[in-house]
Amino acid sequence: MADHLRATIPKLGIDRKKILNDLSARKKDDCDFRGGRTFGLVYHVDQKHEDLLADVQKLFLEENYLNPMAFKSILGMELELVSMISEMCHGGSNAVGCVTSGGTESILLACKAYRNRARLKNRFRKVEMILPETAHVAFEKAAAYFGIAIKRIPVGKDYKADMKALERAITRNTALIVMSAPQYPHGVMDPIRAAAKIARKRNIPLHVDACMGGFVLPWLEKLGEPIEPWDFRVEGVTSISLDIHKYGYCPKGASALLYSSMGFMRNQFFVSTNWPGGVYASTTLQGSRPGHAIATAYASVVSLGEEGFLRLTKRILEAKKILLEAISDTPELVALGPPEVTCVAIASKDKNIGIYAVGDVLQERGWHLDRQQSPESLHLTIMQNHLDTISSFVKDLRDAVAIVRANPKLNQSGQAAVYGMMAKAPLRGFVKTNVAQYLADMYGSPGASSSESLGTLHSDSVKVSPILKMALKIFGKKSTLR
Ligand SMILES: *Cc1c(COP(=O)(O)O)cnc(C)c1O
């Protein structure tokens, strides 16, 4: 855990050169996304693309998209983006949508819209949504924020949502069914056509989460890959979330949320008429919002064009092919799924080779990967710059397996021990409390009381077991908390 930082606003302003030097120096331990050693986080194209984005960002640096009428330039770009993306997803003439700050916001908004719709339409007292267990955690966040009950359905051996379970989970409170294209953990497509058929029969909206796949599936299809229909071509799909700041290659802060018609989108809007500050209306969660997020998203998409997207997607496919071949040639390892799109989850088939220990060795060698649980695996989002590094990754992956075989102790040490414990701890509430405490320590002063102070003194701040505390220390040191 980082020492608590104490900083004061300087008495005199610091000069430009010093600030730039200082901030550049601060980046030295950040992960290197340009070099193709990070499997997620940043979807980097090249210096030329980055320079364009920086120029466009500067052009719209201070514009506030709180009021679209004050910045019609940005409204124009938003509507054009929605139109281009809608065409890409075969939205038809009734399709509508908006640009949000990211996948999470797109998902929160869709859930909020369907919740409101259910309340209005059916006077539901309880609102439920059906989620495959692999659906992105942002849906769980939406449920927690907006008071929606979750009905989880399992996935099969192929990691696809179970359609029998879907039928069983539907009740008269079901406001929404969610499917993913693909789901994040294993890069597998849910059976969207089958789910849409069920949704249509029961007259329930179906949201397709294509945050990951939205900007690669159309190009994979054009490149001749076998991709089953997932977009508005499938009758019954009522909305799609799709991140521009992933495979649309713009900086963070842009995702799209599309609906098959305004009838659904209308439930997303917020209007207040009685505030002394005036009549206030907004389409998305944010109030004041950066204009440059939409401008850079727009510039990224039009600068690449179809040709650029196809070229980059081809490179991703090649890198993925090299990786999957190497995994199938390594008897200890398996790619779960198999992965159909551009995320790959690597697990171990050999009880002596803990995949988290393999992850530790790879991390020592400068590869940034995420750990997943049930089943334990390493997650890789394959990006175009990996075509240049995948061969050396594959070599290190094989080395890592050999190193763990020779040193079984690695399975019980380092981060492997922590992740192993976190994945296996039977009391999930216990893990939850301790991770929440980790956040409290990151933002509070360790040692200071973390109880509320509303006049009364509470002495019951969360107790953290010393072992977990130590574990979280190691855990927190090298990796981001996810
Ligand atoms: C990334 C992702 C999200 C969440 O998007 P953020 O931009 O991180 O908020 C949701 N669903 C899937 C499938 C994703 O890959």
Q: How far is the CA of 102 from the centre of ligand 1 (A)?
A: 7
> In this structure, are 134 and 203 located in the same domain?
yes
Domain end marker among 278, 300, 322: 300
Kindly state whether residues 295 and 325 are assigned to the same domain: no
Strand pairing category for 206-209 and 237-243: parallel
Q: Which residues contact 148 (CB under 8 A, 6 or more apart)?
A: 111, 115, 127, 128, 129, 142, 175
Nearest CA to ligand 1 atom 2: 211
Same domain for 336 and 265: no
**At 364, which CATH number?**
3.90.1150.10
Prior bond to 466 cis, omega within 30? no
Ligand 1 centroid distance, CA of 464 (Å)? 31
Confirm whether 97 is domain-assigned.
Answer: yes
Binned at pLDDT 50, 70 and 90, residue 482 comes out as very low
Of 269, 300, 331, which one is at a domain's C-terminal end?
300
Do 324 and 287 share a structural domain? no
- Residue 151: CATH number of its domain: 3.40.640.10
Asked if residue 466 has pLDDT above 60, the reply is no
Please check whether residues 374 and 350 belong to one and the same domain. Answer: yes
Pocket test for ligand 1, best of 41, 106, 134, 184 (most atoms within 8 A of CB): 184
For tokens 């220990």, what's the residue?
Answer: 357
Residues 193 and 278 both lie in one domain: yes
Nearest atom, ligand 1, residue 343 CA: 15
In a mutational test of the pocket of ligand 1, which residue from 43, 134, 243 has the highest number of ligand atoms less than 8 Å from its CB?
243
pLDDT, position 429: 86
The structure tokens listed for 191 are 């059976």
Q: What mean pLDDT value characterizes the chain? A: 92
Q: Which atom of ligand 1 is nearest to the CA of 184?
A: 13
- Residue 199 is assigned to a structural domain of this protein: yes
- pLDDT tens figures, 35-48: 999 999 999 999 99
Q: Is 191 in the pocket of ligand 1 (CB under 6 A)?
A: no
pLDDT at 255 over 80: yes
Q: What is the pLDDT of residues 109-161, one digit of tens each?
A: 999 999 999 998 877 679 999 999 999 999 999 999 999 999 999 999 999 99
What is the 5 CA–ligand 1 centroid distance (Å)?
31
- Residue 13 domain-assigned? no
Domain boundary among 243, 271, 300: 300
The number of domains in the chain is 3
**Are 271 and 386 found together in one domain?**
no
For ligand 1, pick from 104, 215, 342, 482 the residue to mutate: most ligand atoms within 8 Å of CB. 104
pLDDT range class, residue 431, cuts 50, 70, 90:
confident
Q: Separation of 278 CA from ligand 1 center, angstroms?
A: 34
Following DSSP, what letter does each residue of 430-452 receive, concatenated?
HHHHHHHHHHHHHHS-TTS--S-
Say yes or no: 290 and 388 in one domain: no
Taking Cα atoms as reference points, which of 108, 109, 99 lies closest to residue 65? 99
Q: Is residue 51 part of a domain?
A: no
**Pairwise CA distance, residues 2 & 443, whole Å:** 9
Q: Which domain holds residue 327?
A: 310-419
The pLDDT of residue 444 is above 90: no
- Tens of pLDDT, residues 171-184: 999 999 999 999 99
Is 289 among the domain residues? yes
Residue 91: pLDDT above 70?
Answer: yes
Co-location of 319 and 290 in the same domain: no
Q: How far apart are CA 23 and CA 234, in angstroms?
A: 48
Q: Is residue 12 part of a domain?
A: no
Instruction: Report the pLDDT averaged over residues 306-335.
Output: 98
Ligand 1 proximity of 253 Cβ (cutoff 6 Å): no
Regarding the beta carbon of 343 and ligand 1, being less than 6 Å apart is answered no
pLDDT, residue 470, reads: 57
Report how far residue 108's alpha carbon sits from residue 86's, in angstroms, rounded to the nearest whole number: 20
Query: Over the stretch 209-250, which tens digit does the pLDDT of each residue have?
Result: 999 999 999 999 999 999 999 999 999 999 999 999 999 999
Tell whether the model's pLDDT for residue 4 goes beyond 70: no
Q: Kindly indicate the confidence band of residue 269, based on its pLDDT and cuts at 50, 70 and 90.
A: very high
Is 38 inside any structural domain?
no
Segment 432-442 shows an average pLDDT of: 87
The answer to whether residues 475 and 408 belong to one domain is no
pLDDT for 481 equals 37
- Give the rounded percent of residues in the chain with a pLDDT score beyond 70: 91
Q: Would residue 393 count as lying in a domain?
A: yes
* 138 pocket-lining for ligand 1 (C-beta < 6 Å): yes
Tens-place pLDDT, residues 367-381: 999 999 989 999 999
